Amino acid sequence: MQPRYIVDDVVHAVTPLRLGEQVTLEIDGHLLDVRLHWQDDNRAELIVNGSANSLYVAQDGKTLYLHFAGKTWQIESQDEFSGAGGEGAGAGQIKAPMPGVVVENSAREGDSVEPGQTLMLIESMKLQTEIKSSVAGVIRAIGFAEGDNFDKGAILVDIEVPSTESDE
């Protein structure tokens, strides 16, 4: 199992070579001797190649939030086992570009839609954005009702895209 972490959309392999009180890691071709002394659930002293830093850590699922040397990092741990299945799905899923609120739903479940058709009006940061279909298909689900809040990345509309293969 190869641990991998994502920072700013770039995947980095973190390869432990030796565990124990001091851990030896290989990161992007460099060797680091690292120690963590936990002070409480969120605070630790981090010693890397002999130099110490105060480290603050919190974890939410696969997302790690770190703060040291005056900088905050958001790091995702990549599940080596995920993404193995269910590939190809998601072509007809329209994800929220940013968090916001649904102002208006202009399509309903079961509707046939064409590329470019407006499906939803969302509002975020006092700006309204029209959510348009990028594919032709049938709406499988509308993710949110009018007035509902959604987070960035939430599936706003799920469109079933017919298979491109013909039956003949």
Partner 1 sequence: MRRIQSRINTNDSEYQKYRRHNSELIAQFRQKQHDARHTRPERDIERLRKQNKLLPRERLELLLDPGTPFLEFSSLGAGEAYEGTAPGANCITGIGIVGGREVLINSSDSSNKGGAWYPLSVKKMVRALDIAVENHLPVIHACDSAGGFLPLQSDLFGDKYMAGRIFRNQVQLSKMGCKQLSLVFGHCTAGGAYIPALSDYSVIVEGTGAVFLGGPPLVKAATGEDVTVDELGGARMHTSVSGTCDFYAANEKEAIAIGREIVMQWEQKPKYPLQREKPEEPYYDPAELYGIIPDDIKKQFDMREVIARIVDGSRFAEYQPDYGTTMVCGFANIWGYKVGILGNNGVLFNDSSLKAAHFMALCNQNNTPLVFLQNITGYMIGKEYEQQGITKDGAKMLMVQGGVEVPKFTVMTNGSFGAGNYGMCGRAWDARTLFSWPNSQIAVMGSDQAANTLATIKINQLKKQGLDPSAEELEKIRAEVLANYENTTSAYATSSDIWDDGILDPVDTRNALGISISASLNAPFGGTSYGVMRY
Partner 2 sequence: MARFNKVLIANRGEIALRVLRALEKLEIPSAIVYHESDRASPAVRQADEAVEITGDSPSGAYLDIAQIVSVCKQLGAGAVHPGYGFLSENAAFSRSLADAGIAFIGPGVDAIELMGDKIRSREFVQQHGFPVPASIILDASVFADGDIARAVESVPGLAFPLVVKASAGGGGKGMHIVNSPDELESAARIAASEAEKYFGDARVYLERFFPSARHIEVQVLGDGKNVIHLGERECSIQRRFQKLIEEAPSPALDADKRREICEVATGIARAANYSSAGTVEFLYTPEGEFFFLEMNTRIQVEHPVTEMVYGVDLVAEQIRVAAGESLSLEQDAMVINGHAIECRICAEDAFNGFTPETGRVLFLKEPAGEGLRFDSGLHIDQQVTASFDPMLAKLVVHAPTREQAIQRSIAALGELVVLGVRLNTEYLARVLQHPAFASGDTDTAFVGVHGEALAAAAVDKEQLQVALAAAYLSDRGTRLLHAATPEPYGAIGHWRN
Of 12-20, 38-46, 91-99, 143-151, which segment contacts partner 1 by CB under 8 A?
12-20
CB of 115 to partner 2, least distance (A): 25
**String of contacts with partner 1 for each residue 41-80, x by CB under 8 A:** --------------------------------------xx
CB of 116 to partner 2, least distance (A): 21
Count of H helices and E strands in the chain? Answer: 0, 16
Calpha distance 93→161 (Å, rounded): 10
CB 25 within 8 A of CB 12: no
Nearer to partner 1 by Cβ, of 80 and 114: the residue is 80
Which residues touch 152 (CB under 8 Å, ≥6 apart)? 96, 97, 98, 99
- In 3D, which of 146, 162, 165 has the Cα closest to residue 112? 162
Contact residues: partner 1, CB under 8 A = 1-3, 15-19, 23, 79-82, 84-86
